[in-house]
Amino acid sequence: MDEKLPTEALKVAMQKRILNEFGAKILNEERLDKMVRSRREERVSPHIDVTFFCECDAESCSETILLSTEEYEKVHSKTKYFIVVPSHVRLDLEEIISSFTSYAQVGKFFPRPSRKQAEGGPDAS
């Protein structure tokens, strides 16, 4: 049996989870941009409460989080930061940066190649 198969399957699963997370984040950023642009055109403060999607890795997640536009921008100060419903935190993939009643700000652990993989050694895929 090929010993690389489980490792390869785990890599594919991890990549799918990361894509799901970034997909939700992109939708939220598009929603934020549209809302802020509309509010500026109306010449009113762009800082209002908006319902954002949970940015967890579950493809079927439909949970939402209510945040002000200002707070959303603040919690996404780094690319690796996401907002998730507290029960969707995955400590095997992320660390909790801040925790609130309605959401948790998490920092993702992105997989890095091992030293052998980076050097093209026998563990390299």
pTM: 0.67
Strand order through the sheet with 81-84 = 81-84, 104-108, 94-99
Phi, psi of 99 (to 5 degrees): -130, 135
pLDDT at 70 over 80: yes
Read off the pLDDT of residues 82-110 as tens digits, 9 standing for 90 and up: 999 999 998 888 899 999 999 999 998 76
pLDDT at 7 over 80: no
Read off the pLDDT of residues 21-51 as tens digits, 9 standing for 90 and up: 788 888 888 888 888 778 777 776 767 888 9
Strand partners, 64: 53
The confidence band for 119, taking pLDDT boundaries of 50, 70 and 90, is: low
Q: Residue 88: CA atoms inside 13 Å, Cβ hemisphere, count?
A: 24
